[in-house]
Amino acid sequence: MFNRKGQSMMKKILIANRGEIALRIIRTCKKMNIETIAVYSEADADLPFVKQADYSFLIGPSPVVQSYLKAQDILDIAIKEGADAIHPGYGLLSENAHFAKMTEEAGIRFIGPSSSIIASMGDKIKARKTMIDAGVPVVPGQESMAEDLESAVKFADKAGYPVMLKASNGGGGVGMVRCNDEQALTQHFESTKKRSESYFGSGDLFIEKYIPNAKHIEVQIFGSADGEIYHLYERNCSIQRRNQKIIEESPSPQLTDTARSHILKAAVQAAKAVDYRNAGTIEMIVDESENAYFLEMNTRLQVEHPVTEMITGIDLVEWQIVTAQNIPVPITGQHQIKENGHAVEFRLYAEDPVTFYPSPGELTKASFPEGENIRIDFGYEQGNKITPYYDPMIAKIIISDETREACLMKAEKVLDEVSIEGVKSNLPLFKTVLNSESFKSGHYHTQSLQQMKKGEN
Amino acid sequence: MKEIQSSMAGTVFQILVGEGDSVSKGQTVLVLESMKMEIPVDSEQDGTVKELKVAIGDFVNEGDVLAVLA
């Protein structure tokens, strides 16, 4: 199939993911008249994404290593079924450079950047170096890996405690530990090394200075097929538990215009440094004086991308697919990407709201309000089981309105109407956040949620 | 001899008891890390920790023995 310009169009896409993100990708594919192939594990056989895809294939037992991480098996299905492209979603194989390379070599398009960009950003030490060379400020830290405890201690002494000890191949909040003093660093060094070896396949560690009361602000970037790099504004993702985001909003409150334009510019500069293509996110840490530092780049669609879609009106998955077809995105410049109003996302998890431990079980009831400017990205249906094999996110609840104040007021009403039964959920926590002074004022940072839970704010 | 087994594959994130400690039924003895989640492993009975079979950072499979109770 060809479009009017004679460019070949995709007809079939395999989605190498599950749950809500697989469904979300199917939705855009349907809009674009592209057929979808779902692959699923035994645990997911009854999930809506399996039914809604045009074709579905069982790939194996429930654990991810036997199913969703079986790169060759997934690729074989794509080849056999004549898929033009593979969309990896987020997590799982999405930032696996080897999988992207295998896909490219099989003549199938990987919907994302090239395997070499994924590899260069996946190695956090290398990514830091690339950004320093490009003139992008990075969190003060080591330029090379901490060979042993002795060199780590030496560096930490120089930088000053507290420090973050991180796995070079880590990310997403896993494989990092805050060390307040030499004793803590000594205590955590070997275990963090061992954990990152078993978790990420590499025990390389490095040290970054810990920045207190920091905002986690990230910029949505898009590299068009014609080489242009655009930003789609920022998201404030500072409400976190265990270094993982649970509430995100855009635009970020309490950020001066000067700091904001500096952050957006730095993010574009960072993406240009690697000649980025497709959707990506530049994560930054912003300190109390509004200094912004590069943290890492995520070379895929983010969980929280709907926040950006709500304020820009752009379908990021559509742009991803267009770009994978080597067609420039349908705008003539940055000025055409406009932001309208305010959006906030809540990640609803099947987990204990106090300990944050997962709470798998049957979703006996799940109901969400409907309405204008309310978007629910929900990967299950009532009666489905939330199994212990995967991330226990039940749904993403996204709300937008003209102003932040109106948006948060609306959010409170929407959340009141959400009803989840059969599993424990973090729904009560959202109310605590919405009612906290720090969230209301917008002066919140990555430690705020812990403080709210203790009733300190 | 009573054993505490791993409920799933993952990496040992935290060990909350030491050898010689007494544990009660339902008490969390260690925490595994898997798929960005921290998963508690509870003791299914009362007893004393006779032997810890794993260390922080070890990768364990479903069914592996994590600790032996006396």
**Chain A residues with CB-CB distance to B38 below 8 A:** 242, 356-357
Chain B: give the shortest CA distance to residue A351, in Å.
10
Tell me the HSE value of A250 on the side-chain side, using a 13 A CA sphere. 24
In this structure, are A84 and A189 located in the same domain? no
CA A14 to chain CA mean position, Å = 20
Chain A: give the shortest CA distance to residue B2, in Å.
24
ipTM summary value? 0.75
**Chain A residues with CB-CB distance to B40 below 8 A:** 355, 357
Q: How many CB pairs under 8 A join A and B?
A: 53
In this structure, are A352 and A220 located in the same domain? yes
Tell which residue, A136, A334, A303, has the closest CA to residue A235: A303
In this structure, are A250 and A339 located in the same domain? yes
In this structure, are A186 and A233 located in the same domain? no
Residue with tokens 């070599």, as numbered in its chain: A105
In this structure, are A368 and A414 located in the same domain? yes
Of A209, A229, A252, the domain-final residue: A209
Residue A81, domain CATH: 3.40.50.20
**Chain A residues with CB-CB distance to B36 below 8 A:** 91, 172-174, 244, 391
Contact B33 A193 (CB under 8 A): no
DSSP secondary structure string for all residues of A378-432: E---TT-EE-TTS--EEEEEEEEESSHHHHHHHHHHHHHT-EEESS--SHHHHHH
Of A209, A224, A250, the domain-final residue: A209
A139: left (phi over 0), alpha (psi -120 to 50) or beta: beta
Closest Cβ–Cβ partner in A63, A192, A358 for B37: A358
User: For chain A, how long is the longest CA-to-CA vector?
Assistant: 66
Name which of B16, B37, B39, B42 to mutate to probe chain A: the one with the most chain A Cβ atoms within 10 A of its Cβ. Answer: B37
Could you tell me which chain A residue has the CA closest to the CA of B15? A191
Q: Please give the pLDDT value at position A7.
A: 58
Contact A195 B8 (CB under 8 A): no
Contact A357 B11 (CB under 8 A): no
Could you tell me which chain B residue has the CA closest to the CA of A350? B37
Residue B44, domain CATH: 2.40.50.100
Contact B35 A64 (CB under 8 A): yes
What's the CA gap between A328 and B69, in Å, rounded? Answer: 63
Contact A191 B56 (CB under 8 A): yes
Residue A337, domain CATH: 3.30.470.20
In this structure, are A264 and A379 located in the same domain? yes
Q: Please give the pLDDT value at position A403.
A: 98
Contact A194 B37 (CB under 8 A): no
Just list the catalytic residues of A. 300
Contact B57 A388 (CB under 8 A): no
Q: Please give the pLDDT value at position A8.
A: 61
| Helical segments of chain B, H only | none
Task: Please report whether residue A261 resides in a domain.
Answer: yes
Task: Please report whether residue A389 resides in a domain.
Answer: yes
In this structure, are A182 and A224 located in the same domain? no
Q: Which residues of B touch A (CB under 8 A)?
A: 7-9, 11-13, 33, 35-40, 55-59, 62
DSSP secondary structure string for all residues of A277-323: -EEEEEEEEE-TT--EEEEEEE-S--TTHHHHHHHH---HHHHHHHH
Contact A193 B9 (CB under 8 A): no
Contact A193 B57 (CB under 8 A): yes
Task: Please report whether residue A237 resides in a domain.
Answer: yes
- What's the domain range around A71? 12-111
**Chain A residues with CB-CB distance to B41 below 8 A:** none
Work out how many domains chain A is built from and give that number: 3
Contact A195 B55 (CB under 8 A): no
Contact A448, A238 (CB under 8 A): yes
In this structure, are A256 and A401 located in the same domain? yes
Task: Please report whether residue A129 resides in a domain.
Answer: no
In this structure, are A163 and A272 located in the same domain? no
In this structure, are A88 and A153 located in the same domain? no
**Chain B residues with CB-CB distance to A192 below 8 A:** 57
**Chain A residues with CB-CB distance to B9 below 8 A:** 63, 65
**Chain B residues with CB-CB distance to A172 below 8 A:** 36
Closest Cβ–Cβ partner in B7, B38, B55 for A357: B38
Closest Cβ–Cβ partner in B8, B11, B35 for A198: B11
Q: Which residues of A touch B (CB under 8 A)?
A: 63-65, 91, 172-174, 190-195, 197-199, 242, 244, 355-358, 388-392
Task: Please report whether residue A119 resides in a domain.
Answer: no
H/E stretch holding A165:
strand A163-171
* Burial zone of A448 (CB within 10 Å; 0-12 exposed, 13-18 middle, 19+ buried): buried
Q: Tell me the pLDDT of chain A (457 aa) as tens digits.
A: 556 555 568 999 999 999 999 999 999 999 999 999 999 999 999 999 999 999 999 999 998 989 999 999 999 999 999 999 999 999 999 999 999 999 999 999 999 999 999 999 999 999 999 999 999 999 999 888 888 999 999 999 999 999 999 999 987 778 899 999 999 999 999 989 988 888 888 899 999 999 999 999 999 999 999 999 999 999 999 999 988 899 999 999 999 999 999 999 999 999 999 999 999 999 999 999 999 999 999 999 999 999 999 999 999 999 999 999 999 999 999 999 999 999 999 999 999 888 888 888 999 999 999 999 999 999 999 999 999 889 999 999 999 999 999 999 999 999 999 999 999 999 999 999 999 999 999 999 999 999 998 877 6
Contact B8, B39 (CB under 8 A): yes
Task: Please report whether residue A135 resides in a domain.
Answer: no
Work out how many domains chain B is built from and give that number: 1
**Chain A residues with CB-CB distance to B12 below 8 A:** 195
pLDDT in tens, B27-49: 999 999 887 788 889 999 999 99
In this structure, are A292 and A410 located in the same domain? yes
In this structure, are A154 and A287 located in the same domain? no
- What's the domain range around B32? 2-69
Chain A: give the shortest CA distance to residue B24, in Å.
19
Contact A389 B38 (CB under 8 A): no
B1 — pLDDT class (breaks 50, 70, 90): low
Torsion angle in degrees (nearest 10) through CA of A110, A112, A113, A116: -50
- Beta-bridged to residue A419, according to DSSP, are A367
